[in-house]
Amino acid sequence: MINAAVEVIAIHGIDGATTRRIAEQAQANLAMLHYCYDSKEDLFADVYDFVAGRFREVIKNSDPHSDLVDTARQLLRGVMECYLESASFTAATLELISWARRQREGRGIAVYEQALETARAVLRSAPSDPPAAPETIDQIVYVMTALADGFALNWLTYGDRSAATEQMDIAASVLESWLAVRLGTTPAAL
Which comes out higher in pLDDT, residue 108 or 14? 14
- Count up the domains in the chain and report the number: 1
* Containing structural domain, residue 101: 39-183
Given a cut of 60, whether residue 189 has pLDDT beyond it is no
127 lies in some domain: yes
52 lies in some domain: yes
19 lies in some domain: no
Residue 87's nearest CA partner among 148, 161, 24 is 161
State the pLDDT at residue 15. Answer: 87
Residue 172 contacts residue 73 (beta carbons within 8 Å): yes
Confidence of residue 186 (pLDDT cuts 50, 70, 90): low
* Residue type, position 138, single letter: D
According to DSSP, residue 105 is labeled G
Given a cut of 70, whether residue 107 has pLDDT beyond it is no
7 lies in some domain: no
Given a cut of 60, whether residue 190 has pLDDT beyond it is no
73 lies in some domain: yes
Neighbours of 22 (CB within 10 A): 27
Q: Label residue 107 exposed, middle or buried (CB < 10 Å: 0-12, 13-18, 19+).
A: middle
- The stretch 13-42 carries a mean pLDDT of 91
23 lies in some domain: no
- Percentage above 90 pLDDT, the chain: 50
State the pLDDT at residue 110. Answer: 72
Look up the pTM and report it.
0.82
* Residue type, position 32, single letter: M
The CATH number of the domain holding residue 100 is 1.10.357
33 lies in some domain: no
Confidence of residue 39 (pLDDT cuts 50, 70, 90): confident
158 lies in some domain: yes
- Helix axes of 87-101 and 2-16: crossing angle, nearest 10 degrees: 60
State the pLDDT at residue 63. Answer: 60
